[in-house]
């Protein structure tokens, strides 16, 4: 079949998990578009990716949630070039980048507090706004 996609030394997408289909590309290209199937439709079975931890697999599912087909496979397409081989390489690179992004653990969020200066600035702005609105009111309505 094809070749596996090597992501890191430990993580790889085996060739058996990859399905490649060449379809007709859309957009400009003259008669070439009507005759030649250069667009690549690459599908990857997420469960078959080797070396992914459960957490990384969940992150990958989250990153790819809009690119999953009915069977839960990752769908990547490429029609950037007029050559099928070039589009295949671009699609494989997209898969590699997506899996790499899933391998990176997100930094934990640490809640922060506003500084004293920021609080003071906010209160000053509120007072200025209140004074402006008081100035707009009718003289008999001002309290």
Q: By residue range, what is the domain housing residue 20? A: 5-103
> Average pLDDT by consecutive 10-residue portion of the chain (143 residues)?
85 91 79 80 92 92 92 91 90 94 92 95 97 88 58
Contact between 69 and 75 under an 8 Å Cβ cutoff? The reply is: yes
Distance CA 67, CA 40 (A): 15
What is each CA distance from 17 to 3, 64, 107, 131, 136, in whole angstroms?
A: 10, 16, 30, 67, 69
Question: String of b and e for 29-47 (b: at least 16 CB within 10 Å)?
Answer: eeeebeeeebbbbbbbbbe
Phi and psi at residue 23, in whole multiples of 5°? -130, 170
Rg (CA), the chain: 27
Residue 36: predicted pLDDT: 81
Q: Please report whether residue 56 resides in a domain.
A: yes
Distance CA 37, CA 10 (A): 34
Q: Please report whether residue 91 resides in a domain.
A: yes
The pTM of this model reads: 0.72
What are 55's two structure tokens? 């957490």
Residue 29: predicted pLDDT: 67
CATH code of the domain in which 60 resides = 3.30.160.20
Distance CA 87, CA 74 (A): 17
CA geometry: angle at 91 spanning 100 and 24, to 5°? 160
Q: Please report whether residue 113 resides in a domain.
A: no
Q: Please report whether residue 28 resides in a domain.
A: yes
Q: Please report whether residue 64 resides in a domain.
A: yes
Q: Please report whether residue 119 resides in a domain.
A: no
Q: Please report whether residue 127 resides in a domain.
A: no
Q: How many domains does the chain have?
A: 1
Give 73's strand partners.
Answer: 45
Q: Please report whether residue 65 resides in a domain.
A: yes
Residue 1: predicted pLDDT: 56
């Amino acid at each position: 079949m094809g070749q596996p996609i090597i992501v890191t030394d430990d993580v790889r997408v085996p060739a058996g998990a990859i399905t490649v289909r060449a379809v007709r590309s859309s957009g400009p290209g003259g008669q070439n578009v009507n005759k030649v199937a250069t667009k690549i439709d690459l599908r990857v079975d997420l469960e078959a990716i080797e070396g992914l931890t459960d957490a990384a697999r969940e992150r990958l599912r989250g990153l790819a949630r809009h690119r999953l087909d009915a069977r839960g496979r990752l769908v990547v397409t490429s029609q950037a070039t007029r050559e099928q081989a070039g589009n295949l390489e671009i699609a494989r690179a997209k898969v590699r980048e997506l899996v790499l992004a899933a391998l990176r653990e997100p930094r934990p969020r640490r809640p922060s507090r506003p500084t004293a200066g920021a609080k003071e600035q906010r209160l000053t702005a509120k007072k200025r706004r209140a004074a402006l609105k008081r100035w707009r009111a009718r003289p008999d309505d001002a309290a």
